[in-house]
Structure 1
């Protein structure tokens, strides 16, 4: 049985991927900070092993990873710093975004890929963002972290392709998740997702399963998944 290790699995895209991959026959290691949410995920009755930890805790992460054989690594965990002009951004918010969105993903990948290279098989996926490939106001730090992930994924692919290890960058547009929960008020979030025009986490999860099902000689290096009829952050066309 193949295994998948997913960070940020307690909600949104990560939660949906954990369920979809388990239904597809993977043993899923679901990683997140909320033990309660992870137990609820396990209660679905699928082959999901909950792992409650903070991915910025390097020692704890290495202790967990060192005992596992991971076929699919999905670096999905991420945070959105408070929205606003970069000149007003708190240094602590910059540090947190860089640590969670970028450093933790790179370090976790470093823990896992030597074994994939040795086995000459494996797949590493990164949940990026359309913000990495287009510019928007008030999210400069978030954009920087996702653009760095895009660059890292491309360079990692070049390093690992000769060893049969595949790398995919997931590029979602507006997905109805909890990403903006702490940075936008309820009214603004409702406007963003009004009319059922946002991509759903399950849509992304189904695409991931399809990508993983491709034969070894085919690698989807990046896939963009956007709302068919996008709107502005206020819900206007």
Structure 2
């Protein structure tokens, strides 16, 4: 009997990588996408024995490439049971009046349009089979707006709205659609947001214990293991030290 297949975008680091490894340990065969081939090569070496691994190198912003690659998967890789739309980014923390247009384009293109492109390629197979699970990795920024978060928050609010719309549209097909919205997770997120400024990125997580990528992967494991009649539709997960997008107790290490 063929094993189930999971496709994870942005699998080269952080939450995506943790999800790929966790699902592989659960027995899923893995399609992992990302922009960095060397990272995908490394991920392959970490796969458990007996798990098939299919790396795909592309940028989710590239609509033509996404549809070409995902629309021409080998026949034994087309039945995708779990799609995790994880690829995303944050660029800059400028107020709206001084925001960088390139930063805005990057966030909207990856966080919103990239998610849509990948979903467009995968959903028809799920609707045809009348089965599947889609997990969209959002953010607390999709539930709240905070100073200098403007466009990033807008992109994650869009992810939240798209997830809710997906759930309604795909309801007749029995497809589960889940939104997972983490608070502060210590990954490469802040390093990208602050454009390689390591000291500034590290300061974000000082004084308290943040979430880690594996914490989110553990939620994914729990979600996909629920019975067929159960869907955890909308999940916000925060570190204990965080009460909202802007309220963090930086004197609480656990």
1:141 aligns to 2:161 (yes or no): no
1:69-122 Cα shifts (integer Å, max 9, x gaps): 211111100110211101111222211111111011112111111111111100
Q: 1:221 to 1:20 in 2, by over 3 A?
A: same
* 1:130 matched residue in structure 2: 140
Distance in 2 (alpha carbons) for counterparts of 1:90 and 1:228: 33
The offset of 1:177, in angstroms, is: 0.7
* 1:211 matched residue in structure 2: 223
SS of structure 2 residue aligned to 1:182:
helix
2:67 to 62, 67, 71: 62
The offset of 1:10, in angstroms, is: 0.5
Aligned ranges 1:152-191 → 2 under 5 Å: 152-184=162-194, 185-191=197-203
The offset of 1:234, in angstroms, is: 8.9
* 1:49 matched residue in structure 2: 54
Deviates more, 1:217-226 or 1:58-67: 58-67
Cα contact 2:89–2:192 (8 A) shared by 1: no
* 1:192 matched residue in structure 2: 204
Which consecutive residues of structure 2, in runs of 5 or more, have no partner in the other structure?
none
TM-score scaled by length of structure 1: 0.94
1:122-165 Cα shifts (integer Å, max 9, x gaps): 01111100011112111111100100110010011011112110
Distance in 2 (alpha carbons) for counterparts of 1:179 and 1:93: 14
SS of structure 2 residue aligned to 1:180:
helix
* 1:6 matched residue in structure 2: 8
Aligned ranges 1:60-99 → 2 under 5 Å: 60-66=65-71, 67=73, 68-99=78-109
* 2:25 matched residue in structure 1: 23
